[in-house]
Amino acid sequence: MGRFEKKRGKASPEVSTASLPDIIFMLLFFFMVVTVLRDAELKVTINTPEATELTKLEKKSLVNHLLIGKPIIKYQATYGTKPRLQLGDKFANINEIPLFLEKHKATLPENQRQGITSSLKIDGDVTMGIVADVKTALRKANQLKVNYSAGKRAQ
């Protein structure tokens, strides 16, 4: 008759960790390449007015930034030196504001859409005529939460 041998606890082979640094560096480079640090390039010069009583906006994902100022030197040959409106990453006309707002609204969940705020970042030398036109376009697009950006004044 054959004997039955007891199976002794055989140790399983250890997992090699030699390729772990390679995997970590591949992930690091992947995230460095894919990460976006700034969503819009600043194409206008803006010297915001200074104020003493400021409040900070809490949810930055719910903020539309509308920039009004003179184009930087790089774009003055194409767009001139008069103040221009920048929506996102491009120069725009006032009649493009409703489409810009709708594109931003479409990226948000339904329950957060009523909390959208439009932040006007305006150069101090811009005339109020352009600002009034932008505010009228925002009102027609039913965007009633408007914020004016300002810098903190040294006291």
Q: What confidence tens digit (pLDDT) does each residue in 9-50 have?
A: 666 778 888 888 999 999 999 988 888 766 677 889 999 888
Pairwise CA distance, residues 56 & 59, whole Å: 9
Q: What confidence tens digit (pLDDT) does each residue in 71-106 have?
A: 999 999 999 999 999 998 899 999 999 999 999 999
Q: Which residues contact 12 (CB under 8 A, 6 or more apart)?
A: none
Give the containing element (helix H, strand E) for 132: helix 128-140
pLDDT over 90 at 120, yes or no: yes
Beta strands in 9-89 (DSSP E): 44-45, 50-51, 63-71, 84-87
Say which DSSP state 39 is in: S
With H, G, I as helix, E, B as strand and everything else as coil, classify residue 106.
helix
Q: Amino acid letter at 45?
A: T
Q: What is the CA radius of gyration of the chain?
A: 27
Domain spans of the chain?
44-152
